[in-house]
A and B are shown apart, each in its own frame.
Chain A
Amino acid sequence: MAIPVLMPKQGQSVETCIITKWFKKKGENVSVGDILFSYETDKAAFDLESPAEGILLETFFGDGAEVPVLVNVAVIGKSGEVFDSFNPSSSETKPSAVSDASKAAEVVEAKKASEAVSATKEPEGKIRISPRAKCMAEDKGVDYSSLQGSGPNGRIIVSDIEKIISGAAASARTETLINTKAEFSTTAKTVYHAGSDYTEQPLSNVRKLIAKAMQASLQNSAQLTHHMSADVRRLLEARQKIKKDIASGKNQQDITLNDMICWCVVRALEKFPEVNSHFMGDSVRTFNKVHLGIAVDTPRGLMVPSVKNADGFHLRQLSVELKSAADACRKGNINPELIQSTAATFTVSNLGNYGVEMFTPVINLPQTAILGVCTIINRPANLGNNTFAFVPYIGLSLTYDHRAVDGGPATMFLKEIRDQIEAFTY
């Protein structure tokens, strides 16, 4: 009897997945464990192994299709077997989850997009990437499957991977060499318009999802941002000490400024549980534990993994957890549960490295607030006895959802973070 292949459900809130690439064609023999196709949620990529042995009788969706979870993607069976009943487009098996017309439209769109881009991929869907770029990507854990190459004929070359690794701040040298192209386009070939001064690329699927979530956040909540700064001399002293300990071999683990700030944020959240919450529309869910989300730039786009139970960690433990969550995102093997916006109770986004002096981070709904960490600026300060000196201050930008939190407590919370930073001991 024919066996249907279902689009798995990856994570509680995942409703649809996108087929990135088929590895088997209709009519091919498949064995248990063969990779049938790869697919991605909005935040992670997976391979689907064949659940059965037999002939791949039919595939109901092509590359690039967005498929609701638990819907039949294909059928495996013996030659000549009837499989019409497995076809998700036949009315009796149509899952209720995708009755929404807009979802159906998305599927079509995704399919179109993927057709439009097939030119840059080899006919069988192979990715055009130079051996060196491939080695580098694998070495650094960069997922290049949806990367648009800037080399000849759209080949992914080293500079593309370097750009991912170094994020937006790609080395200036490379910038001058390479035609810069918009990042994270799935597969689409850049269209050069003869005589015009712009290029146009269709959005990648991941980009579409990010766009949707961010727009929803700004449209559906009442966000505003407070800015404050904190004297970071103690943090910098601690940082010096850590570096010295590493250099002398006394200690091997690096603890970054961001780790320390996150630790201070957790301490502040313990004192202000109302910010450690989800706004549920007609209720507010306040958490006993701190699940700290951190914004991470990855080749696939922005990801916010959550470090569960962050309030239970020492500084050192927290540092390890933050690093491993970020690494997992970059490698693409993060547990999809952890990157749902519901997985975290509060989020920290750090743009200090890039010299940002203040910004208005966008809340990851249904969370009620997000802290933006900015760059350090030396400012004159009174050291006492009217002795003035330049003191390093770090910028803190707290965006909060006024539906859930009022200005007073928000300010008090921000001030608490500042105090924690200024009183930090290592």
Chain B
Amino acid sequence: MPKSQNINPKVIRKPQFIEFGKIPVNQYNKTIEEEKKLFSKEDFIRIYHDMVVIREFETMINLIKTTNEYNGIHYNHPGPAHLSIGQEASAVGMAYTLDVDDFIFGSHRSHGEILAKGLSAIHHLDEGALYPIMKNHLGGSTLNVVEKGFKGNIKDLAIHFLLYGALAEIFARENGFNKGLGGSMHAFFTPFGIYPNNAIVGGSGDISVGAALYKKINRKSGIVVCNIGDASLGCGPVWEGICFATMDQYKTLWDGDYRGGLPLIFNFMNNSYGMGGQTMGETMGYNILARVGAGVNPESMYAERVDGYNPLAVIDAFKRKKKILKEKKGPVLLDTLTYRTSGHSPSDASSYRTKEEVEAWQKEDSIIVYGNSLVIAGIAKKDELDKIDSETKELLTQIMKLSIDEEISPRINMEKDPDCIGKMMFSNGSVDRMEEGKPEVLLSLEENPRVKSIKNKERFYLDKEGKPVSKAKVYQFRDGIFEAIIDRFYKDPTLAAWGEENRDWGGAFAVYRGLTEALPYHRLFNSPISEGAIVGTAIGYGMCGGRVIAEIMYCDFLGRSGDEVFNQLPKWQAMSGNVLKMPVVIRVSVGSKYGAQHSQDWSSLTAHIPGLKVVFPATPYDAKGLMNSALQGTDPVIFFESQRIYDIGEMFHTAGVPEGYYEIPLGEPDIKRSGDDITILSIGASLYQAIKAADILKEKYGMSAEVIDARTLVPFNYEQVIQSVKKTGRIILTSDASSRGSFLKEMAQTITELAFDYLDAPPVVVGSRNWIIPAHEIEKSFFPQPDWIIDAIHERIVPLKGHQSKIDFSVEKSIKLNKEGV
């Protein structure tokens, strides 16, 4: 909501018509004679060669999957194989014009794109650059296999390297590009500009936008191509990614040379089917996919359908589209028409299409047609092309032998190192800045109005006389987060933040107040209401090498970014074999007062997913220290903040919140109050209920409670908690999350295992009810209250003299509620 742009009723209420420009469909009509001016013989033949390599590669895998044999070599590959036989021209055409620093992202059906981009990169890189890239990958273990006994030039060696790295990856071998941890649907090799493919349909739809943002914000050369299927246009993340990529602000509000569109091509590899659903005629309504561009922005995203069965038509289109991106008019939408003659996967019985349809496309096979046109035009002789065919077959036979040899290409040794995958889940880096450079800011820290105002605040909740400081004067929880974030903005030039209402408004809860003044648009901007893309773009930005803070305004909106948070963000570090880092902090604000869809604590959901660090501080001191750690790290962190306590002062760290930089390591719980008789372990803002319960226990029952604030859910060091339980013998756990399946249950179970012999009663969980959250006025019946904790202690742990329970924590009640599912 920038004040610089006025929404004028006089203007926008005027009657008018929207005019749509023409969207070209299959307009390429050059003859091969004309193309001869642009391509050398070598170029023409290279295009043919690259298509043949892809065809043979896919044919090989198809034979292995369907007959367990290729060229007489037996092998069983139980894993996935989504092949793209028939789509070679579109892959090669896409990659042909791309430079090494142009990035491609892919789908589950991207073997062809990887090989095409890899071959293109090998062509573009000189040998001096090529060799170290190969040598440095995984300590040279991939290269060593193909280099042994190799005679030939470095470029040929690199082709062997590419094919072996990809195939070994598909076969889950340790020498594969990603140590075999990515596999067929996730193979990639970033030094060649090949970024992750994605097994989730449309998964690249918003991640690639983040990559384009990375290029733009950090002034990196190159463009990004998002290769996704036609059916993915029905996926939320793709639509959100398109919205995110086409925001007006790039062209209207971003400053100086940052102004202008994203260098991004949404390239829909349109083979007319989403698995078996026919997108044109059955499952979508666009008729021609390129039409969709018209609905997005006045430029119709420069959308165009191009004949993806003709490599020269695709190359022509990409050349023209690259020019548009160079003029900062992106992003662009390409509808690259193609067809897969192979099944969706080898188990595909083609029950959704006729044999005649497949045969009709086979007659127009791009490799045969293109090869013939080269022969007819006198560019290449038939036997030259045949030689390419037979040499490719021979080469792939050789590569396959290497890839399936258990000695040469073992899998990662799970026996020798049973935890080796565990070690790859997090990169656990400690990095001040992701890149050297001077961070772009608009004013010095000292000049910042928020920083100035914080200077006058009391950093402990009591003043020198021991009286509570007023809300207006106390250093608040939100100030702690702000201080950590602004500090990092002045340290790390790559750091950017986005989300809803982040700029101008300063975040819905005023955490970012003061950042708008400090930061140019490209470092802090408002996103569309696209939670999926807010996270997805952060993933793309992070995996390319930038540090980012994305914000989800209410935890309840996390569901909108489900795929990004559950499937993408946590997985890429390990699926890349630790090639990628993911320095992404997702701030998630946990609401209250606003009822069922604005007050839920879903920290347990994120803690359940391996690969995420999950933080939930409850005090300003912890918030600042933990945010500093999150921002110093290289791992994805879901950082929960409770809206109940944004304005709370520091009540535990008696020295107050330090002005300088300090880190609180993720994973260490903190004893907020010492005690001997019972341990109360709290997550998030429920710390304050736990403290109140501890007061009641002391005053009414002479019982001293030790209150431990979990601070972090993942990782979590249980040692301190176990120590406490050894002392007290009793533990009760509380948080605002609905109790069924909550992280408290996970903790209770773990504590039971680790400290069974020290327990005088089972760990008892006091979570929220398994209901909708009611209105604020009756919220107390939903969220755990201090009384509940006392009641639960009385009924489940140790009877308290003279205590009368209000809440029924009996076994019978528990069985009844579970039976009812509430």
- Residues of A at the B interface (CB closer than 8 Å) are 130-135, 150-153, 155, 157-159, 173, 176-179
Question: With an 8 A cutoff between CB atoms, is B797 at the interface?
Answer: yes
The CA of A130 and the CA of B677, in the complex, are separated in Å by: 15
Chain A residue with the shortest CB-CB distance to B794: A152
Instruction: Determine whether the beta carbon of A152 is less than 8 Å from that of B757.
Output: no
Are B703 and A177 neighbours in the complex by a CB distance under 8 Å? yes
Q: Are B799 and A132 within 8 A (Cβ)?
A: no
Which residues of chain A come closer than 8 Å to B729, judged between CB atoms?
A: 130, 132, 158
Interface of B is mostly: loop
**Shortest distance between the CB of B764 and any CB in chain A (Å):** 10
List, in ascending order, chain A residues with CB within 8 A of B443's CB. Answer: none
- Chain B residue numbers with a CB within 8 Å of A135 are 757-758
- Give the Cβ gap from B291 to chain A, nearest Cβ, in Å: 68
Of A152, A153, A158, A177, which contacts B801 at CB under 8 A?
Answer: A177
Known: A158-B760, A177-B701. 6 other contacts (CB 8 A): A131-B757, A132-B757, A132-B760, A152-B761, A176-B702, A178-B801
Residue of A nearest to B697 (CB): A177
B759 contacts partner chain A, Cβ-Cβ < 8 Å: yes
A354 and B37 CA atoms in complex are apart in Å by 112
B50 CB, min distance to chain A CBs, angstroms: 67
B361 at the A interface (CB under 8 A): no
- Distance between Cα atoms of A189 and B797 in the complex (Å): 18
B796 within 8 Å of A (CB atoms):
yes
- Is the Cβ of A173 less than 8 Å from the Cβ of B759? no
When A150-B799, A151-B798, A157-B798 are in contact, do A177 and B760 touch as well, CB less than 8 Å? no
Residue from the list B758, B798, B811 in contact with A153, Cβ < 8 A? B811
Within 8 Å CB of A134, what residues of B? 757
- Residues B761 and A157 in contact, CB atoms below 8 Å apart: yes
Q: Which residue of B lies closest to A181 (CB)?
A: B799
Interface string of B702-742 (1 = CB under 8 A from A): 11000000000000000000000000010000000000000
Which chain B positions have C-beta within 8 A of A179?
799, 801
Can you show 18 pairs from A to B with CB atoms below 8 A apart?
A130-B729, A130-B759, A131-B756, A131-B759, A131-B760, A132-B759, A132-B760, A135-B757, A135-B758, A150-B799, A151-B761, A152-B761, A152-B796, A152-B797, A153-B811, A159-B798, A177-B701, A179-B799
Q: Which chain A positions have C-beta within 8 A of B756?
A: 131
A157-B761, A158-B729 are contacts. A176–B811 as well, Cβ < 8 Å?
Answer: no
Compute how far the CA of A402 lies from the CA of B800 in the bound complex, rounded to whole angstroms: 50
Residue among B729, B795, B798, B801 with max Cβ neighbours from chain A (10 Å)? B798
- Counted as pairs of residues, one from A and one from B, with CB atoms less than 8 Å apart, the total is 54
The chain A residue with its CB closest to the CB of B801 is A179
Q: Please, which residues of chain B bring their CB within 8 A of the CB of A130?
A: 729, 759-761
Chain A: which residue is nearest B701 at the CB level?
Answer: A177
Say how far A279's CB is from chain B's closest CB, in angstroms: 47
Main secondary structure of the interface of A (DSSP, over half): helix
A128 to chain B minimum Cβ distance, whole angstroms, is 11
Collect the chain A residues with CB atoms within 8 Å of residue B677's CB: 177
In the complex formed, the residue of B with least CB distance to A160 is B760
* A157 contact from B701, B757, B760, B795, Cβ within 8 A: B760
Leading 8 A-B pairs by shortest Cβ distance:
A176-B702, A132-B760, A130-B760, A132-B729, A158-B760, A157-B760, A131-B757, A179-B799
How many angstroms between the C-alpha atoms of A269 and B677 in the bound complex? 49
A177-B799 Cα distance, complex, nearest whole Å: 8
**CB-based nearest B residue for A180:** B801
Q: Enumerate chain B residues within 8 angstroms of A153, measured Cβ to Cβ.
A: 811
Contact A176 B758 (CB under 8 A): no
Q: Are B757 and A177 in contact (CB under 8 A)?
A: no
The chain A residue sitting closest to B809, CB to CB, is: A152
Asked whether A176 and B801 contact (CB < 8 A) given A135-B757, A153-B811, the answer is yes
CA distance A424 to B590 in the complex (A): 76
Residues of A within 8 A of B757 (CB): 131-132, 134-135
Complex CA–CA separation, A135 to B729 (angstroms): 11
A131 to B795, CA, bound (A): 18
Residues of B within 8 A of A152 (CB): 761, 795-799
B799 to chain A, nearest CB (A): 5
Determine the distance from Cα of A178 to Cα of B761 in the docked complex, in whole angstroms: 14
Complex CA–CA separation, A56 to B290 (angstroms): 84
Q: What chain B residues lie within 8 Å of A158 (beta carbons)?
A: 729, 760
In the bound complex, CA of A134 to CA of B759 (Å): 10
| Chain B positions 744-802 with a Cβ under 8 Å from a chain A Cβ | 756-761, 795-801
Pairwise interchain contact B758-A132, C-beta atoms closer than 8 A: yes
CB distance from B701 to the nearest CB of A (A): 6
Chain B contacts for A178, CB-based, 8 A = 798-799, 801
Q: Do B811 and A177 have beta carbons less than 8 Å apart? A: no
Q: How far, in angstroms, from A177 to B700 measured CA to CA in the complex?
A: 10
B174 to chain A, nearest CB (A): 44
Chain A residues near B799 (CB-CB < 8 A): 150-152, 178-179
Determine the chain B residues whose CB is within 8 A of the CB of A159 once the complex forms. Answer: 798
A130 to B796, CA, bound (A): 12
Minimal Cβ-Cβ distance residue in A for B677: A177
Interface centre among A132, A134, A155, A157 (most CB of B within 10 A): A132
The chain B residue sitting closest to A135, CB to CB, is B757
Q: In the complex the two chains form, what is the Cα distance from A134 to B92 in whole Å?
A: 72
Contacts of B801 in A (CB 8 A): 176-179
Most buried by A among B759, B760, B795, B797: B760
Q: Which B residues touch A173, using CB under 8 A?
A: 702
Residues of A with C-beta under 8 A to B703 = 177
Contact, CB under 8 Å: A177 / B758: no
Expressed in whole angstroms, the minimum distance between the Cβ of B528 and any Cβ of chain A is: 53
Chain B contacts of A176 at CB under 8 A? 701-702, 801
Q: Which residues of B contact A150 (CB under 8 A)?
A: 799
* Complex Cα gap A133–B797 (Å): 13
Among B757, B796, B799, the one with the most A-chain Cβ atoms within 10 Å of its Cβ is B799
- Interchain CA distance A173-B795 in the complex, whole Å: 20
- In the bound complex, CA of A158 to CA of B800 (Å): 14
| Per-position 1/0 for B104-130, Cβ under 8 A of A | 000000000000000000000000000
Contact partners of A133 in chain B: CB under 8 A? 760
Q: Closest CB of chain A to B761's CB: distance in Å?
A: 6
Given contacts A151-B799, A158-B729, contact A177 B761 (CB under 8 A): no
- How far does the alpha carbon of A134 sit from the alpha carbon of B729 in the complex, in Å? 12
Question: Within B659-680, which residues are at the interface with A (CB < 8 Å)?
Answer: 677
For residue B803, which residue of chain A has the nearest CB?
A179
Closest chain B CB from A422 CB (angstroms): 44
Measured CB to CB, the closest approach of chain A to B175, in angstroms, equals 50
Q: How far is the CA of A157 from the CA of B799 in the complex (A)?
A: 10
| Complex: chain A residue closest to B797, CB-CB | A152
B760 CB contacts on chain A under 8 angstroms: 130-133, 151, 157-158
Chain B residue with the shortest CB-CB distance to A161: B760
Distance of A155 Cα from B799 Cα, bound (Å): 11
- Inside 8 A of B758's CB, which chain A residues have their CB? 131-132, 135
Smallest CB–CB gap between A171 and chain B, Å? 11
Min CB distance B731 to A, Å, is 11
* CB proximity of A147 to chain B, nearest CB, Å: 14
Tell me the minimal C-beta distance from B107 to chain A in angstroms: 53
Residues in B whose Cβ lies below 8 Å from that of A132: 729, 757-760
A82 vs B245: C-alpha distance when bound (angstroms) = 91
Residues of chain A lying within 8 A (CB to CB) of residue B796 = 152
Task: Give min CB distance, B805 to chain A, whole Å.
Answer: 11
Q: How far is the CA of A187 from the CA of B796 in the complex (A)?
A: 20
Cα distance, A403 to B757, chains bound together (Å): 55
A243 to B2 CA separation, bound complex (whole angstroms): 83
B498-541 at interface with A (beta carbon < 8 Å)? none
The distance from the CB of B675 to the nearest CB of chain A, in whole angstroms, is: 12
User: Smallest distance from the beta carbon of B789 to chain A beta carbons, Å?
Assistant: 15
A131 — which chain B residues lie within 8 A by C-beta? 756-760
CA distance A153 to B761 in the complex (A): 11
Once the chains are docked, how many angstroms separate the CA of A88 from the CA of B626?
75
Q: How far is the CB of B339 from chain A (nearest CB, A)?
A: 66
Q: How far is the CA of A150 from the CA of B760 in the complex (A)?
A: 12
From known contacts A130-B761, A151-B761, A157-B760, infer whether A177 and B795 are also in contact, taking CB-CB under 8 Å. Answer: no
